Structures are given as C-alpha cells and as structure tokens.
C-alpha cells in the first residue's frame, strides 16, 4: 500500500499528469464513465449551465458507447457534446465519427440533439472548419478559445491525436481553434480538427489508449525518445488535468511509475 502511494505521488509530481493502467478495457471504460459522470456533476454543481465534453473517434467510440450508458442514473440533459476531430465524410459513412456515436451512443443517453455540435459535412473542408469553429464560439459565447470541461483523446500508433499528425505544419497553428486538414496520412484525407491551443485550454484532457500496438509509441510519448515530440506529447493542458488511461498491453513497455487503480476507484 505504501509503495503504491509513493509511486502514485511521484508519478504526479514528476510529470503533472496521471498515468493509470487498468487490468482490462472493461475496467478502464467503467472508470472513464465514472470520471465523466463526476466531472459533469462538478461542472453543474459549481454553477455552470452545462458540462462540455469533446469526443474523439477510433477505438474510443465502442468503449464509451458500452460503458457510459451503464452509469446508473446518468443525466446528460445538460451536457454539450463536441468533437475533437472529425472526418469530412457524410454522417452515413462508416468513417464518420458523429455517425458512429449516433448509432452506438446518442440514442442510449438523454442528450438533446441540439446539444450535439457536429461539423457540416456538405461544406468544403476549409469552410467546414470555419463553420465548426463558429458553432463552438456561439455555444460557448466567446470570441476567445472555448474551454471544454473534458476532452477525450485517442492516439494512433504513429503518435497522432485529434487529426494532428507527426511533422505536420498544423502542429504550429497558434491562431485558429479549429483547422482543416486535406492531407491526412490516415484516410480519409480531409478532416477538421481542434488545434493544440484549443486542446491545451481544456479543464481536463483524458487520453484513452489500449492494445499492444500502442506500446512502443506510448513509451516514446510518455518517457521520451529521439526526434521531435510526437503530437500526443504536445498535449499538456495549460491549467487543466491530464490523464492517460491505458490497459496492460498498451502499458507493457513503460518503466516510469504508473498508478494501478483497483476496481471502482474514483478518479
């Protein structure tokens, strides 16, 4: 117990982030759902009119769609949902992140349709990014950077997160909150993505990464390596919390201290 406590605190002090390793994807998903529920309660009980949540696509969709509806008495009527990135394809396309969440999650929670901020996939990519940025500004009533309560991020095996890819000029974007990309190395090529200033303005950023294919890149991102920092390593909220939720295969190569929370642990 003492050792666990010591490891946990040294991990937090050294890096300002929490790296948590779960014994299964199910345990991870259920802790993630609890974390969202508790952050929503905190946001709403401290006088906020909504709890704002940014979703990512990829493997996160099925984890969240399974675990979030299982939270007892979850009330999402005051949630505001946006997307950290989105692929520029029709919502009916299997590559559409919105389309996947619509089919797998939104019908199972009581989120009002008008509280889901999605891109307009009929627009050309540049206009689509501008239109989405303007939807976010309106919803957050700000001309500045919208500050999400929680952003959920994934990470590809190349270290990309959102649609921010290694060595891509978009990593230098400092003016826009949302940007278009037309040359995504991962298909589909046209996408819309939050930029690093927007991601790092969030109150809480949670990465979810599972499976052994992520182990080498996780080692690089969390413990350092040769070459320029990978996009996921550039996520470091200016003032907010940063969590990395991993399963054992994804964490297999890590040697720095991590937390291993027991079932039902509160984050």
Q: Which of 163, 177, 190, 195 binds ligand LXAUTJHC (CB under 6 A)?
A: 163
190 part of the interface to ligand LXAUTJHC, by CB under 6 A? no
231 part of the interface to ligand LXAUTJHC, by CB under 6 A? no
* x/- track of binding to ligand LXAUTJHC for residues 84-113 (CB under 6 A): -x----------------------------
* Chain residue at closest Cβ approach to ligand LXAUTJHC: 58
H or E element at residue 193 = strand 191-194
54 part of the interface to ligand LXAUTJHC, by CB under 6 A? no
Q: Which of 29, 99, 146, 154 binds ligand LXAUTJHC (CB under 6 A)?
A: 154
247 part of the interface to ligand LXAUTJHC, by CB under 6 A? no
* 3-state SS assignment for residue 200: helix
Q: For residue 82, what are the β-bridge partners?
A: 54
Residue by residue, DSSP assigns 85-109 as EEESS-TTSTT-HHHHHHHHTGGGT
159 part of the interface to ligand LXAUTJHC, by CB under 6 A? no
Q: Based on C-alpha coordinates, what's the Rg of the chain?
A: 18
Nearer to ligand LXAUTJHC, 8 or 155 (CB): 155
Q: Which of 20, 31, 54, 57 binds ligand LXAUTJHC (CB under 6 A)?
A: 57
261 part of the interface to ligand LXAUTJHC, by CB under 6 A? no
Residue 264 to residue 267: CA distance in whole angstroms: 9
In sequence order, which residues have a C-beta less than 8 Å from that of residue 100 and are 6 or more positions away?
57, 61, 94
- b/e map of 91-101 (b: 16 or more CB within 10 Å)? eeeeebbbbbb
């Amino acid at each position: 117990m003492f050792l666990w406590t010591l490891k946990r605190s040294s991990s937090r002090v050294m890096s300002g982030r929490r790296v948590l390793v779960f014994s299964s994807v199910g345990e991870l998903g259920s802790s993630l759902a609890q974390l969202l529920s508790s952050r929503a309660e905190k946001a709403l009980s401290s006088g906020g009119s909504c709890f704002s949540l940014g979703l990512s696509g990829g493997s996160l969709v099925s984890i969240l769609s399974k675990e979030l509806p299982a939270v007892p008495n979850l009330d999402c009527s005051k949630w505001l949902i946006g997307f950290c990135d989105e692929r520029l394809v029709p919502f009916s396309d299997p590559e559409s992140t919105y389309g996947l969440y619509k089919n797998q999650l939104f019908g199972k929670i009581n989120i009002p349709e008008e509280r889901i901020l999605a891109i307009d996939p009929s627009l050309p990519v540049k206009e689509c990014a501008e239109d989405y940025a303007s939807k976010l500004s309106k919803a957050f009533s700000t001309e500045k950077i919208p500050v999400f309560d929680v952003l959920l991020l994934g990470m590809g095996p190349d270290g990309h997160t959102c649609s921010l890819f290694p060595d891509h000029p978009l990593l230098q974007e400092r003016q826009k909150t949302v940007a278009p990309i037309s040359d995504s190395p991962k298909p589909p090529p046209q996408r819309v993505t939050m930029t690093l200033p927007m991601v790092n303005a969030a109150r809480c950023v949670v990465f979810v990464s599972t499976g052994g294919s992520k182990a080498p890149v996780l080692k690089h991102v969390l413990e350092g390596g040769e070459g320029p920092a990978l996009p996921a390593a550039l996520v470091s909220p200016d003032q907010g919390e940063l969590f990395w939720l991993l399963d054992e295969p994804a964490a297999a190569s890590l040697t720095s201290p991590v937390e291993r929370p027991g079932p039902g642990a509160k984050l």
